[in-house]
Structure 1
Amino acid sequence: MSHNLYIPRKHQAEIETGLARFSVLVCHRRFGKTALSINQLIRAASETDRPDWRGAYIAPLYKQAKTVVWDELKRYCGVGTEECLAKFHETELRADFKNGSRIRLFGAENPDSLRGIYLDGVLFDEVAQMPKRIWTEVIRPALSDRKGWAIFIGTPRGKNALYEIWEEARRDPSWFAAMYRASDTNIIDQDELAAAAREMSPEEYEQEFECSFSAAIRGAYFGNLMGEADKEGRITEVSHDPSLPVHTAWDLGMSDSTSIWFVQARPGGTYAIIDYYEACGEGLDHYAKILDDKAYKYGIHIAPHDIRVRELGTGKSRLEVARGLGIRFDIAPNIPIQDGINAVRTLLPSCWFDMTRCEAGLESLRHYRRSFNERMNDFGVRPVHDWTSHAVDAFRYFAVGFRQPGAGPRPPRTENTYNPFGRLHERS
């Protein structure tokens, strides 16, 4: 059997005996979580009585799943041997087992590839780099009729999806939750840990080896500013003021996500970010209906410059299609992305966010980060393009494209937990 290749360490064996239907494992680097997770899927696929068992391994990016996991899956299944458990399909990253079971690899950056399937078991790896809605909106429903299981494994990267799922699991006795710090497991010897501690920043070491959720996200553009917003009480309940217009800023995706922020400019140069919406694979008519359903009194709608591009199929631009649906867009100036990022940095200290309605957008603002070149050991000049990009791009278009005539100077920043927007009436 392929499992002869996998001999679980002490802590891996503990996990295997403790797993529940839903489990969260927060592990330090080099813990062996990939080997653990792959073998959980292989064991479930090969030992099931169901001839149509389906399992999934989900990484943050499809390319990452292929690079990190695909060869390991084949190796643990015994590829090249007479006892090989499965037949492998390279183009689909799919393993078909002799008993009819199937394991497939996916990337979280393409939620549509996961819709419409059923699953008996799923493993999320590096959950901190994924949006939580992949679980709540896409995968959880896919497990329901089969009463399937899920395992979440990752190393912290701030307070994001992994942190939220970890906290929820700790409060729910039906879940299994475990944290494995390098100082406790002794998997990495003490000399190596001491060397790593000398070479890494304290925040990096605490995050990667001691599983700290409070350490800063490496290369995050707005991490400190979002932390200050949290500390100053500006991520809270922010009510809609029906006497003021609601402005929107959009990032328009074709095959991927479209993001919309809903903003009210308040007296004194502050901005109430009252709402956020994101969806994938929908036409403009869908978003026009969302605007109608929210029933705000709208002001300016801001779109990126490429909304003017004519589509091959219709010969019409999305600007023209939107106008036909009653949405008249102002076009954000086409400026270098770094200038747009700086505009967001300037704007954020004046923003108050509704913590509930803007949750998905806030997650993106916290985790939008520069690319890191491991070979050069340095950050790149451009941001990583991933699930955070759509929300941040839309916010960037607001930062560079919105102009409020007669707006006064921004008020001085203070340590303030009073919410000036909390007493306003909610939209009925």
Structure 2
Amino acid sequence: MQEKNYVFKKKWFDYLGYQPHDGQLALHYPEKADARFHVMVCGRRFGKTWASAMEACYVASQPNKRIWVVGMSYRKARLIFREIWQKMVVGHPEDIKRSSEKDMLIEFKWGTTVEGMSADNPDSLVGEGLDLLVVDEVAKMNKKIWDMYLSPTVAGRKGKVIFITTPEGRNWIYDLYKLGEHDPMWACHSAPSWVNQHEFPLGLEDPAIIERKRNMSKALFGQEFGAEFSIFQGKVWDFDRGIDTGNFPYDPNLPTYCSIDFGYRMPAVIFAQTEFIGNVEHIRVFDSILHKENIKTEDLIKMIKTKGYPIVSYYGDPAGSSVQGQSGAGDMEIFRRSGIRILCMRDRMSRNIIASVSYVRGFFSSADGTRRIHVDKKCKDVIQDFEEYRYPETEDGKPIKEEPIKDGHHDHGNDAFRYFITNRFPMKNNQLRKIQR
């Protein structure tokens, strides 16, 4: 589907009251006017959902078109469909033949249809040929959704496809993005969050961007806000013993925490304290129980209590609530019976290894260079675990897996430390606040 009538499109956008920012212009007025496949890789709060909805409105204004907007779920698809509904249905009953906001269906009197679909119900992704297909957050989808279900829907009518997403490493969307460099049918666009002057009036110097840059790792900030295809490989933590270790012993004037990775074969315990340096809260790791093999839960409890630290809170893995075959009780229950209550975050983000590891990386070194982790030089096992925690090696520049290696030795201490960070500094409280346009 050729895009040459840019004059009419601009007038249509003016009619809708839509003024795209500089980053959105690349989608609406691409240099490759005849490209059918557009991969739009953008940072969070860029306005990609809004832009794709307005593009769908433009196509929907033309006769006899068939349009799908596809999300990871019906709820996600509704985010785009709702914008189309507000612009094309609300206040325009004379244009509508049949419509249902609940079922995400619009039929216009000029023969055009718009439907909202869900990738988590792939069997529903079968239908007549499409003139426009919008796929939201496609990097989170399985490649087969595109290959097996969606690509055939645009083959017959040579429909246009808009892939909109925030990148997730160099997965299959990176391969599609690279097609735009040499295939005339593919166009690729990339833009960071801060080009959206509606959300971030000060651009890269906007307070919201500066806050995220301060509290996220460089790689994660680059991915989530810079729209970069970050590769997570090599060392997981940006930990430097020459900078991050020193004299950080137990301080009775600071709050003390204990974080535990359960397991009989090799449990792990981290003791840490927090203190403010300026207006930033830092972490001091001063003791641990690591690399001890075949430790019963009851014995581990004794080892922790023997330390004698006045613990403010105990943190652990939610999996610790699982019942053990021999005792008939989970690790958390055994701890509770001994007078220790284990706290754990159970939200989806905190339990996601990739997301939580990326979050913790920002404490070692944020995108603005702030280092918040300090380890006492006597904690040799902790230092070793931090230094040896690694991502899998890559093949041809492509990551095998975005999760760190579980080598059965160094991963346990790092898991215990991760539980401390995600509980003491909850991920859900450190997300960029959504700002309404």
Normalization by structure 1: what TM-score? 0.48
Q: Computing the radius of gyration over CA atoms, which structure comes out larger, 1 or 2? A: 2
Normalization by structure 2: what TM-score? 0.47
